[in-house]
A and B are shown apart, each in its own frame.
Chain A
Amino acid sequence: MKQVFGRAESLKDAAFHYCPGCGHSIIHRLVAETIDELNIKEKVIGVPPAGCAVLAYNYFDIDMGEAPHGRGAAVATGLKRALPDRVVFTYQGDGDIAAIGTAETIHAANRGEKITAIFVNNGVYGMTGGQMAPTTIVGQITTTTPGGRNPDRDGIPIDLSEMLALTNGSVYIERTSVDSPKNIIKTKKAIKKAFQVQMAGLGFSLVEILSPCPTNLKMSPVQASKWISSTMTTHFPLKVIKDETGNLGAQPPSE
């Protein structure tokens, strides 16, 4: 019988610890499938964050080096500069990349570091128990915004991807979501393209993925996914934010 579905080669035989309905499990799989498809399992190095995905190294069957909170882009810069022919990616949450690690991320992008960032935006600090994130939506209730995020006091959600697009060294930035099968397929394509950008030596690439956190949103998995499309995307529209990849990924002309 032909096997039509299985675990990605780049994932270990380990059960994810993530909460039911959490987007990390899906995104891990998409990244692992991409590594398999690009045949880079033996030359890829991942940099997991502080946050729920810190344990990513328990699931990915690839070399991984943990960075201090927010410093993923700097650690990845060191790895990539030391090993320019390897593929280096960071896997970061919104607090990691868009709050404590803002400077590292913007400057890595501005230098055009040939690294790829997988930016998982769930609008909340997950591992620490649901505090306001830099990407928490206006009005959204968290443990530190019990009356909802107040723009006068807390500012509005930061548009990190749009900010990164302004840097000269960024080449490809897309915002996607894993709230539906259709968007999961789009996310996979975006991740693959982001890795290809790096492999072609073009510059900095990033995929921002809107991801459900039912536990801290205090919703069912289905409600949390619906909340992404109904509410989160009003501030964070799904779109290609920057694409200067030229003909990358286009089919070569037939002979």
Chain B
Amino acid sequence: MIGEAAMRAGCRFYFGYPITPQNELTEYMASGLAALPDGVFIQAESELAAINMVLGVSMAGKRAMTSSSSPGISLKQEGISFLAAQELPAVIVNTMRGGPGLGNIAPAQGDYFQATRGGGHGDYRTIVLAPGTGQELAELTRKAFEYADRYRIPVIILGDGMMGQMMEPVEFPEPIDPASLPLKPWVLDGAKGRHSRIVKSLILDTSAMEEHNWKLYRKYQIIGDEIPEVERFLTDDAQLVLLAYGTASRIAKGAIKRVREMGLKVGLLRPKTLWPFPKKSLLEMSRRVSDFLVFEMNTGQMLEDVKLSLEGRRRVHFYGRPGGIISTPDEIAKVINNIYFKEGLESEE
């Protein structure tokens, strides 16, 4: 789905290295790009090479993508830091698996910190999109390329092994001809009839480096204002609101349907953008919600962003299972029951 959506977004350059559980995407790009006259697919010798090939294509002004899974994304972080520093657009797909280290190949969400805190060295951020359905994989992939170009920033699509291997009917957006995309005024394509250009990140002068950091910061502030996106599911009357993204949000919805049958007023706030984190939507909801329950497939990472956003205004519960364990909706329903009937909601104390 991501592969088809990427090509329809005018991406003609893909570089990847085999790693489970995301080889389907690499293989799709291999055959998909081979079928396009202007398509370029290289199976790179390493994740480092793949991300740096993306960097080269991006310098030349064209849309490029790479993908991997957790251990491979760690290797790409050098390149992602350079892309951020050099303000180059790129799309990077992380199909998360259990970790740290080699971990396993089961679906997990342990890379939230890495994705939302920059990931590599230096003071930077990347946009992080978290699709929750097959349809969204297609739509957010299109948006990823648009955001990357608009803000000149690397964009991470953060999924997991379950998102990567599910089958759902999808309606794809109309394909874009890459030749129809607007020309970028900063690209390296040979200094014909103009002054020569430099794309670089070495800024030895400390005040110039500081200014570059602030420039990036101001850009991140604008992105924070412009693109946060959420889904609200049964939140209108909710006393308890779950926060979950990706695969966890699908499990959460199943649990919410069960407890609603018992009459519990529970809803879901699902961030589609993990960075920027949808702080405003959360704060707005906190005015009429008693408690929040963060559910993640890790030991508590988005939990920190929820607490930072709420600044102690509401009680925040957490339930998470790391290691590639996929909780069942019944399991989450029990957690919700526990909050309602044992701990008690904060507003009822």
A: residues with CB less than 8 A from B are: 41-45, 47, 54-55, 57, 60-68, 71, 74-83, 86-87, 103-104, 106-107, 111
In the complex, chain B residues whose CB is within 8 Å of the CB of A65: 56, 59, 86, 188, 198-200
- Between-chain CB contacts (< 8 Å), 17 pairs: A61-B196, A63-B189, A63-B191, A64-B196, A64-B198, A66-B198, A71-B49, A74-B52, A76-B56, A77-B42, A81-B42, A81-B57, A82-B40, A83-B60, A104-B45, A104-B52, A107-B49
Give the 7 A-B residue pairs with the shortest CB-CB distance, closest first. Answer: A78-B56, A74-B52, A82-B60, A107-B45, A42-B192, A43-B190, A66-B200
In the assembled complex, B27 has its CB within 8 A of some CB on chain A:
no
Contact at A78–B58, with CB atoms within 8 Å? yes
Q: Which residue among B56, B58, B193 has the maximum number of chain A CB atoms within 10 Å of its CB?
A: B56
In the complex, chain B residues whose CB is within 8 Å of the CB of A107: 44-45, 49
Contact at B188–A79, with CB atoms within 8 Å? yes
Contact at B189–A68, with CB atoms within 8 Å? no
Contact at B198–A104, with CB atoms within 8 Å? no
A3 to chain B, nearest CB (A): 23
Give Cα distance in the complex from A82 to B78, angstroms: 22
In the assembled complex, B8 has its CB within 8 A of some CB on chain A:
no
Give Cα distance in the complex from A71 to B59, angstroms: 14
In the assembled complex, B13 has its CB within 8 A of some CB on chain A:
yes
- Chain B interface size, as a band, is 35 or more
In the assembled complex, B306 has its CB within 8 A of some CB on chain A:
no
Contact at A78–B59, with CB atoms within 8 Å? yes
Interface string of B54-82 (1 = CB under 8 A from A): 11111111101000000000000011001
A24 to chain B, nearest CB (A): 16
Of all chain A residues, the one with the shortest Cβ separation from B56 is A78
B59 to chain A, nearest CB (A): 4
In the assembled complex, B251 has its CB within 8 A of some CB on chain A:
no
In the complex, chain B residues whose CB is within 8 Å of the CB of A60: 196
Contact at B57–A86, with CB atoms within 8 Å? no
Contact at A71–B79, with CB atoms within 8 Å? yes
Give Cα distance in the complex from A61 to B195, angstroms: 8
In the complex, chain A residues whose CB is within 8 Å of the CB of B192: 42-43
Given A64-B198, A104-B49, A78 and B57 touching (CB < 8 A)?
yes
Of all chain A residues, the one with the shortest Cβ separation from B187 is A63
Within the complex, which residue of B64, B193, B196, B197 is in contact with A78, where a contact is CB–CB below 8 Å? B64
In the complex, chain B residues whose CB is within 8 Å of the CB of A104: 45-46, 48-49, 52
Contact at B52–A78, with CB atoms within 8 Å? yes
Give Cα distance in the complex from A43 to B191, angstroms: 6
Within the complex, which residue of A55, A71, A78, A86 is in contact with B48, where a contact is CB–CB below 8 Å? A71
Given A60-B196, A64-B196, A103-B49, A82 and B56 touching (CB < 8 A)?
yes
Contact at B60–A66, with CB atoms within 8 Å? no
A251 to chain B, nearest CB (A): 28
Contact at A79–B56, with CB atoms within 8 Å? yes
In the complex, chain B residues whose CB is within 8 Å of the CB of A44: 190
Taking CB atoms and an 8 Å cut-off, the chain B residues in 31-55 that contact chain A are 40, 42, 44-46, 48-50, 52-55
Give Cα distance in the complex from A107 to B53, angstroms: 12
New A-B pairs, 14, CB < 8 Å, besides A75-B53, A81-B13, A81-B56 = A63-B188, A63-B198, A64-B199, A65-B198, A66-B200, A67-B56, A68-B79, A71-B48, A74-B53, A78-B13, A86-B189, A87-B190, A103-B49, A106-B45
Interface string of B157-190 (1 = CB under 8 A from A): 0000000000000000000000000000000111
In the assembled complex, B202 has its CB within 8 A of some CB on chain A:
yes
Give Cα distance in the complex from A103 to B75, angstroms: 14
In the complex, chain A residues whose CB is within 8 Å of the CB of B188: 45, 63-65, 79
Give Cα distance in the complex from A21 to B7, angstroms: 51
In the complex, chain B residues whose CB is within 8 Å of the CB of A106: 45
Within the complex, which residue of B15, B54, B57, B199 is in contact with A66, where a contact is CB–CB below 8 Å? B199
Give Cα distance in the complex from A177 to B149, angstroms: 44
In the complex, chain B residues whose CB is within 8 Å of the CB of A103: 45-46, 48-49
Contact at B190–A86, with CB atoms within 8 Å? yes
Contact at B198–A74, with CB atoms within 8 Å? no
Contact at A83–B191, with CB atoms within 8 Å? no
In the assembled complex, B201 has its CB within 8 A of some CB on chain A:
yes
Of all chain A residues, the one with the shortest Cβ separation from B40 is A81
Give Cα distance in the complex from A104 to B201, angstroms: 20
In the complex, chain A residues whose CB is within 8 Å of the CB of B64: 78, 82
Contact at B48–A74, with CB atoms within 8 Å? yes
Of all chain B residues, the one with the shortest Cβ separation from A71 is B52
Q: Which residue among B54, B57, B62, B193 has the maximum number of chain A CB atoms within 10 Å of its CB?
A: B57
Within the complex, which residue of B46, B59, B82, B198 is in contact with A79, where a contact is CB–CB below 8 Å? B59
Contact at A79–B57, with CB atoms within 8 Å? yes
B76 to chain A, nearest CB (A): 11
Of all chain A residues, the one with the shortest Cβ separation from B45 is A107
Contact at B191–A62, with CB atoms within 8 Å? yes
Given A63-B188, A78-B57, A82-B13, A68 and B52 touching (CB < 8 A)?
yes
Give Cα distance in the complex from A68 to B54, angstroms: 13
Give Cα distance in the complex from A42 to B202, angstroms: 24
